[in-house]
Amino acid sequence: MSEAVGTPFPTVLKLAGSYGFSWPGYQLAAEGTAIAENRLREALHEVHAKGRILDRDSSLVLFGSFARHEFLEGSDYDWALLVDGVVNSRHTQHTRSIAGALAKAQLIPPGTTGTFGGPLFSHDLVHCIGGGADSNANLTRRMLMFHESRCFELSLIGDVSYVWRNVVSNIMERYFEEDVHFSAKGKRRVPRFLLNDIARYWRTICVDYAAKYREQDGKKWAIRNAKLRFSRKLLYAAGLAFCLSCELHPPVSNYPDLFGIQEGTEAGPFIESAINFARLPPLEFLTKFVDAFVTDADKRKRVCKKIFGAYSNWLLLLGNQEARKSLEELKPKDTLGNAYFEKVREGGKEFASGLKDLFFNRDHDKDQIAELSLDYVGF
């Protein structure tokens, strides 16, 4: 498979081509995202003609499949008006304008939980980490700012991506600067504070899956179960990979004052590295991680086939409207014999097997990734 110009998955497609694999799910997802973006941009431009969409202290941020570049027909659009400034009554007006524009683009709105689809204030994201003030919703928003968020820029309103950059930078500054175990120049360069929160978020998703099953009387349980096996697990794997990469290849800063990080700050390069991670789709970062740190050629090929091949098949399944409808309507008692859920189950096992190979080497040979995983994920 040749590398497409401007593709969000260049490393994924490069590996596919080098091994002779066919992973068409990524091209399908990239094309679906591009179409949805064009519809969104056109709708927002139409609203802009009637007045300014954003102030300089706010930015339209996309989450979920939009941010992962995996938007397919039937995907909902998770978004928020990220505000990093003083209180302003216009924020409500801008939020309504954006919601109206997105509705006009005929994109499916966010879920009913209220996590997305409105204003998102930087104060809670930065200052409420852990403790009683850190709600499930706040944890979710903060983790997704790091794992799968993307500033949606509109040329007509100027560059407002600095809002996103500043918020992510301050979140990461807290994780690295306040981590009492972290040592930028020593032997403890895996950020435990951040890694523990990533693990907490993954476990929270799993617990909330059970809670939603009860609250919604099993409605759409199969599609949520499938996402737990693939896209949600991907976030955890990519976040874990980033944390381990801080030890495997400690970053060196060329721009010590970037985003307000002061020269001489030991954690500065790691914070910059975290911002760069946040810019990439999690799948692309995980591919780069595999390509860089799995040194055994046979194992790298095996891991790539399991992880990225299975994920490509998942995207193809999700892009099949008959399959998506079946999974959204499937009742637990009808699971056995459902061909689409069986594909989810088998693909999920393959995906998980690849991740186990990657992080917990089962070949019993010396592997630095596995050693770090046991040290920091195990006991």
| Residue of 243, 221, 222 whose CA lies nearest to 375 | 243
In the chain, the N- to C-terminal Cα span, in Å, equals 41
Average pLDDT of the segment spanning 162-175: 95
Average pLDDT of the residues of the chain: 88
φ/ψ of 178, rounded to 5, equals -100, 10
Residue 283 buriedness (CB in 10 A; 0-12 / 13-18 / 19+): buried
Q: Can you tell me whether residue 342 is helix, strand or coil?
A: helix
The pLDDT value given to residue 167? 96
Q: Can you tell me whether residue 51 is helix, strand or coil?
A: coil
Work out the angle at residue 318's Cα, subtended by the Cα atoms of residues 45 and 70, and round it to the nearest 5 degrees: 40
Q: What would the pLDDT profile of 302-353 be if each residue is shown by its tens digit? A: 999 999 999 999 999 999 999 999 999 999 889 888 999 999 999 999 999 9
The pLDDT value given to residue 3? 39
Query: Per-residue b/e over 34-64, b at no fewer than 16 CB within 10 Å?
Result: eebbebbbebbeebbeeeebbbebbbbbbbb
pLDDT level of residue 2 (50, 70, 90 thresholds): very low
The pLDDT value given to residue 104? 81
| Strand segments (E) across the chain | 58-63, 78-83, 118-121, 149-151
112 to 82, 85, 216: CA distances (angstroms): 19, 27, 11
Among 52-56, 58-62, 217-221, 230-234, the minimum mean pLDDT is found in: 52-56
pLDDT level of residue 259 (50, 70, 90 thresholds): very low
Sheet holding 118-121, edge to edge: 118-121, 78-83, 58-63, 149-151
pLDDT level of residue 48 (50, 70, 90 thresholds): low
Interhelix angle for 192-215 vs 161-177, to 10°?
110
Per cent of the chain over pLDDT 70 is 91
Where residue 265 falls (left for φ over 0; alpha for ψ -120 to 50; beta otherwise) is: beta
Among 19-33, 51-65, 267-281, the minimum mean pLDDT is found in: 51-65
In this structure, how many other beta carbons lie within 10 angstroms of the beta carbon of residue 204?
Answer: 15
Average pLDDT of the segment spanning 90-116: 83
131 pLDDT exceeds 70? yes
pLDDT level of residue 135 (50, 70, 90 thresholds): very high
Among 147-156, 198-207, 358-367, the minimum mean pLDDT is found in: 147-156
What's the rounded Cα separation, in Å, for the pair 80 and 117?
5
The pLDDT value given to residue 206? 93
The pLDDT value given to residue 256? 42
379 pLDDT exceeds 50? yes
Interhelix angle for 136-147 vs 192-215, to 10°?
120
63 DSSP β-pair partners? 78, 149
Residue 226 buriedness (CB in 10 A; 0-12 / 13-18 / 19+): buried
What's the rounded Cα separation, in Å, for the pair 261 and 263?
7
155 pLDDT exceeds 70? no
Look at 258 and 121; give whichever has higher pLDDT. Answer: 121
Q: Can you tell me whether residue 363 is helix, strand or coil?
A: coil
The pLDDT value given to residue 270? 94
The pLDDT value given to residue 5? 39
Q: What would the pLDDT profile of 283-309 be if each residue is shown by its tens digit? A: 999 999 999 999 999 999 999 999 999
250 DSSP β-pair partners? none
Average pLDDT of the segment spanning 122-149: 95
pLDDT level of residue 50 (50, 70, 90 thresholds): low
Per cent of the chain over pLDDT 90 is 63
10 pLDDT exceeds 60? yes
pLDDT level of residue 71 (50, 70, 90 thresholds): very high
- On the CB side of 375, CA atoms within 13 Å amount to 15
275 pLDDT exceeds 70? yes
The pLDDT value given to residue 49? 60
Q: 118-123: which pairs have CB atoms within 8 A and are 24 or more residues apart?
A: 118/80, 118/81, 119/80, 119/81, 119/83, 119/91, 119/92, 119/95, 120/61, 120/80, 120/81, 120/82, 120/83, 121/83, 122/82, 122/83, 122/84, 122/166, 122/167, 122/170
Prediction pTM value = 0.91
What's the rounded Cα separation, in Å, for the pair 16 and 9?
11
- Would you say 82 and 164 are in contact if contact means Cβ atoms under 8 Å apart? yes
| Residue of 205, 253, 247 whose CA lies nearest to 229 | 205
21 pLDDT exceeds 60? yes
| Residue of 25, 41, 18 whose CA lies nearest to 315 | 25
Structural tokens at position 57: 């202290």
